[in-house]
Every structure is written in structure tokens, then in C-alpha cells.
Amino acid sequence: MAGTTTPPRGAEAPEGPMQTVSRFEANLLRLLYFFLGREPAERGLPLVEERLPEPTCLSRGAVRLAQDALARGCVHLLAARGGWRRERHLRGGAVAEGRLWQRTPPADLALRFSRHSLEFLIRVTAYRPGDKEPAWQPPAGELTPADLLLLYFAHQGLRQGADSLGAPELRRRPPFVQHGLCWMAYPEDYAAAPAAARPDFAPWTAGPGAAMLEALQPELEERWLAVEAGKARLTDPAAMRALGQSQERVLAAFLDALEKAGRRDLARFLVRAAARLLGPHAHAGMWTGGLALGGMRLADRAATYQAALAFVRALDRLEAWERRARGVGYFDEDYAAAQLWKADWELAQGDIVCERARAVARQADPLRQAGAAPPAPGPDANPNPGGRPS
């Protein structure tokens, strides 16, 4: 057939002869393999820059290749990024231990992709992500957890490119603007999100979405460590406030959703990240040391420090979960969940970590740094507590 090319390397059908696809279909498959980590960025991102006329339909062979890549590639990534680890998570009110596929019935792990996944791949092959027309905004209720997982992997790939490709604009529109997993893994990407935007975690706290979140715990832990480590290099107070506000929004929505679903175990990555971050030598300068605060009003300085410590301050809520778990009795309905959370907390030395978090927050108190007395001091208060500037 004239004007055709072979599919990208590794995209051949599992059985049967080599299939021939059009140039558009080859680009679509290469982009899919890039999102799934099977093609390097230097081969995938140029295809995002390139625009090709959208065909009226895809060939049966190309659709079959895309379906096979989605089914195999997403499962492989979930297994490789954390599903292989032996962990303990809740299953029906009880604790199940093992690798993801050992602690979960196969039916609960099935990835079911809707037509919207293929429509997204066609859209990103024919147009740049930031192009406003034609709009791709599928109804949120029609996206399956598998569709959302593909969008998460696509977000990871697209954020490696230049902003000129339009990925930031894509994040301001549905379904990415409320994609809870993208918000949680990359809060820095949502610092400029509309004020009314809220991440949706309902798909990630039950069913296949919760199993995916279990598998991605190590990845999320590393991402939050990277975001916190990057704060020491931030010099612009406005950028710090925007990042901190994004973190506050995503953490509030995430922890609210976990409480509602009774899945506090899905916040384990936050406890583990905090334990690694707040070591015995942690100090406020790790978060605020690079900020250019000269001439800033005390109120603005306080708001900037508060934003810088958004994650550190969120540990108070996790600590409250542990205190609540202590009061759950053996015959209470959520006894297993409480015991699991207490075990995670003790393993991470949560009490010690929270003490260090409070010490960091005291160091970052601008009133202490300015040598001023705290608000509403007692009669014997020391007007200069001696906090050391970060």
C-alpha cells in the first residue's frame, strides 16, 4: 500500500505477520510507546511538535497494535514502579500482604480502556497539546481508571518537552485540570492552575484506581522528596507561595478522599517521604534558604514560609490519624485499618518525625527571626526566643 510504513520498533502484533500502517498511525504508536517508556524522549517529543492531518479512521491493524501496547505497557509499568514490592494494604476491611497481584483478585486488576484513550492519542498526534481547537474534553464520568492512567503517563512524557508544545495549557483544561494523580505526583505543574480547580481523587481510592495508587507509592514518595529538595533552590517568594498553595490544595483533597474511603494506607508514601526528609539534621534553611526576602513585609514573609512548609505542616493531620487509631478497639469496624496505620507510623518513627517538623516550623517563624515577641505574650515571655535565621 503506497504511503505506508512499518510500526515502531516493539509495536508488532504478538502473533501473525508484520503489519503495515500509515505514517499517522506510526506516529501515534510511537507516541504511545514514548508515553509507556518504550521510546526515548528524543524520538517521542519531536512527534508532538509535528502536526499531521487527522484521518477519518484508523486501520484495524493499528487499533490492534495500540490495544496490545496499552494492555501490556501499562501493566508492565505498574509492576515495575512498585507493584512487585511485598507490601501490606487493605482489602475489604482486612489486611492483605504480598505483591500487588498476590493481594488483589485478578478481576480487580483488569485495565479497561474506553474509546477516549484512542481519541486522546489521535488528538495528540494530529495537534499540539496546547492547541485550543478542536477541543478534547471527554465527560469526566466516562473516563475509566485505565484511561486516567494513560493520561498520567502522557503527562509525565509531555512535561519533558518545551512549554512551547502547550503542555501547560493542556493542564488547565479538563480532564487534566482535575486529574488527582497528576496533581499528587507533580504539584509544581499545577501551581498556576485556576483558583477554582480541585483535584479529583474519587477514582484513586477504590477499585482498580486504588490498586494503581498502591503500585505507584514508591514513585510518589520520590516525587515529593524531589519537590521538597527543590525548594532550597527557589529564590522567588511568589513562586514559593504558588507551589505551597498547590501542595496545600492537593494534600487537603487527597487526605479528605482517603478518610472518606477508609483508605489511609494509601498515604503511606507521605509518611515515608517525611521520615527521609526530616532527619536529625533537618533545619528550616532546607526549605527557605534560597529565598530573596530583602525588604519584604513581615506578613508576606510569614505567608512565604508557611507555603514553603506546606508538606511539613500536613504531618499534623497524619499525626492526628495515628492518635485516633490508638482509640480504635478490637471489635470496632475499622480495627484492621487502624492497626495498619499505627504500624506504618511506628515503622517511620512518626512521633520523632513530627517533633522535628515542629522544630523546623519554629525556626521558620519570622517573628523569631526578627527577634520580636510572639503574639499575645505571657507576662514572663522572653522577647527574643533566639530563633536562628534560616
Task: Give pLDDT tens digits for 73-127.
Answer: 999 999 999 999 999 999 988 999 999 999 999 888 999 999 999 999 999 999 9
Q: Which residues of 155-188 are buried (b: 16+ CB within 10 A; e: fewer)?
A: bbbbbebeeebbbbebbebebbbbbbbbbbbbbb
Q: How far is CA 203 from the centre of its chain?
A: 13
CA angle 273, 279, 280 (to 5 degrees): 165
Number of H helices, E strands in the chain: 17, 4
> What pLDDT does residue 213 have?
98
Q: Is the pTM of this model over 0.75?
A: yes
> What pLDDT does residue 135 have?
78
The model's pLDDT over 191-228, given as tens digits with 9 standing for 90+, comes to 999 999 999 999 999 999 999 999 999 999 999 999 99
Task: Report the SS3 class of residue 97.
Answer: strand
Enumerate residue ranges in the chain where pLDDT < 70: 1-18, 162, 164-166, 367, 369-390
Domain boundaries, the chain: 7-192, 216-390
> What pLDDT does residue 17 have?
57
> What pLDDT does residue 16 have?
52
